[in-house]
Amino acid sequence: MIQIYNTLTREKEVFQPIEEGKVRMYVCGPTVYNYIHIGNARSSMAFDTIRRYLEYRGYEVNYVSNFTDVDDKIIRAAKELGITAPEVADRFIHAFEEDTNVLNVKPATLHPRVMDHMPDILTFIQALIDKGYAYESQGDVYYRTRKFKGYGKLSHQSIDELEVGASQRTGVEKELKEDPLDFALWKGAKEGEISWDSPWGAGRPGWHIECSVMATKHLGDTIDIHGGGQDLEFPHHENEIAQSEAKTGQTFANYWMHNGFVTIGEDDEKMSKSLGNFVTVHELVKEVDPQVLRFFMATTQYRRPIRYSETTMKEAGVNLQKLKNAFENLSFRKSNAVVALDEDTQKLHELVELETRFTTEMDDDFNAANGITVVYEMAKWLNQYSEQEAVSALVIEKALEQFTQWLSIFGIFFLSEELLDDDIDQLIEERNQARANRDFARSDEIRDLLKDKGITLEDTAQGTRWRRSE
């Protein structure tokens, strides 16, 4: 039984989805104004690992992760680059897709964009105004924070503590608010900035309202899991709760999950663009095997900080190579495996025991660090078995299937010299998803990979067929 550490309660809780066998999961995506650094990418990889494990455990996961394509940073980038804000967003959404694809992050079930949801945003804000939770002020619309009785329950802060910080703020916006704690749902247009018409005048949405709208529109008023980086806990996720629950009268998310930071340097300083201490995925994968980066990031428990350095990356590379060697050793022995051995039952039982240990560790709040320890033990088991004088085809097939499944949870894929039918089907499924997302670069990459392995694809009206080349 899976247990999740819920930020809301600060406790591990048994996971009980709203609908049996299905998971509604929303993860805050990037603001697309630049290339993502590895701190940004950690959230994508951490929740991709969680999603993959849920699917491994038999759940159907409806995974929604947004693109914030309307923002002050995007507007500034547009001015600097001499292009429009939508063009900036399109450019860096494409860059995000390229970077996450090379890290084996599965595309979300849906990647909604703010610009496509303006009517929904306006309707949502108007509902909050009608209920007395929001008010218009000279073209802006603000949320009445004090009116929501549960404000602060996620970040575990009292309204008095929050008031002290808010009272120090100055500027024009403070003069427009009824209370310093109130936050913007709609911002009146400024000259030269992108804007949309609204009942309160031209403008654009505030940051927090976007996720409330897209999460409830695509997943329902109550969702199972809401995830994101630790830095989003307050105020972003706190404000999402206030807005959503005020509008719907329902619990917004049953489980709140937050991944830890990536730190850098001797002082373990948080990696961020504002501090200028970041390393982009776009540049790093030119020098480092993307699988090593994914392995480095995905095998730490998601709530724990990760210290990035050349040393830790090299260690990850060495460990990944050990797993690859074990995979290749057993794959090589397939050619001289026998149909059956007297010891098959015992060996298959040992595999079941390893699988039980793996799921026990991963069921404990997706503890990837402990889970990968079992994978290392599996690699040792594979090496010992492959060194035997006679090996069983049945045991090899089961062992490779189990080992491959486990590695895929962490976004790691090793391919045999001769691809298995399941490997081919999985790659074709990924190619179909890439084509559906109009990611033709990834689609072509998979087609070429299969071609190099002697697999010919035929796209037909009934779907994609494949055959091995003669």
pLDDT in tens, 202-244: 999 999 999 999 999 999 999 999 999 999 999 999 999 999 9
Q: How many CA atoms lie within 13 A of 414 on its CB side?
A: 23
* Those residues with Cβ within 8 angstroms of residue 138's Cβ, 6 or more apart along the chain or in another chain: 176, 188
Average pLDDT over residues 418-444: 79
CB atoms within 10 A of CB 149: 11
CA 315 from chain centre, in angstroms, equals: 24
Question: How does DSSP assign 345-401, residue by residue?
Answer: HHHHHHHHHHHHHHHHHHHBT--HHHHHHHHHHHHHHHHHHHTSSS-BHHHHHHHHH
Higher pLDDT, 442 or 64: 64
Q: Per the annotation, does 273 bind a ligand?
A: yes
Instruction: Tell me what percent of the residues of the chain surpass a pLDDT of 90.
Output: 73
* pLDDT value, residue 416: 62
* pLDDT value, residue 466: 84
Q: Per the annotation, does 156 bind a ligand?
A: no
Residue 170, amino acid = T
Q: Which of 59, 56, 68 is nearest to 25 (CA)?
A: 59
* pLDDT value, residue 419: 62
Residue 452: burial class (beta carbons within 10 Å; 0-12, 13-18, 19+): exposed
CB atoms within 10 A of CB 169: 11
Q: How many CA atoms lie within 13 A of 10 on its CB side?
A: 4
- On whether the CB atoms of residues 423 and 431 are closer than 8 A, the answer is no
Residue 324, amino acid = K
The neighbouring-strand residues paired with 187 are: 204
Average pLDDT over residues 73-78: 95
Q: Which of 247, 249, 248, 225 is nearest to 237 (CA)?
A: 225
Q: Per the annotation, does 37 bind a ligand?
A: no
Q: Which of 68, 66, 69, 110 is nearest to 86 (CA)?
A: 69
- pLDDT tier for residue 172 given thresholds of 50, 70 and 90: low
For the segment 243-292, what is each residue's pLDDT rounded down to a tens digit? 999 999 999 999 999 999 998 876 667 776 666 667 899 999 999 999 99
- On whether the CB atoms of residues 455 and 424 are closer than 8 A, the answer is yes
- On whether the CB atoms of residues 88 and 32 are closer than 8 A, the answer is yes
Q: Per the annotation, does 361 bind a ligand?
A: no
* pLDDT value, residue 438: 82
Q: Per the annotation, does 258 bind a ligand?
A: no
Q: Which of 11, 115, 112 is nearest to 64 (CA)?
A: 112
The neighbouring-strand residues paired with 226 are: 26, 256
Question: Does pLDDT of 464 surpass 90?
Answer: no
* pLDDT value, residue 340: 78
- On whether the CB atoms of residues 423 and 408 are closer than 8 A, the answer is no
* pLDDT value, residue 69: 96
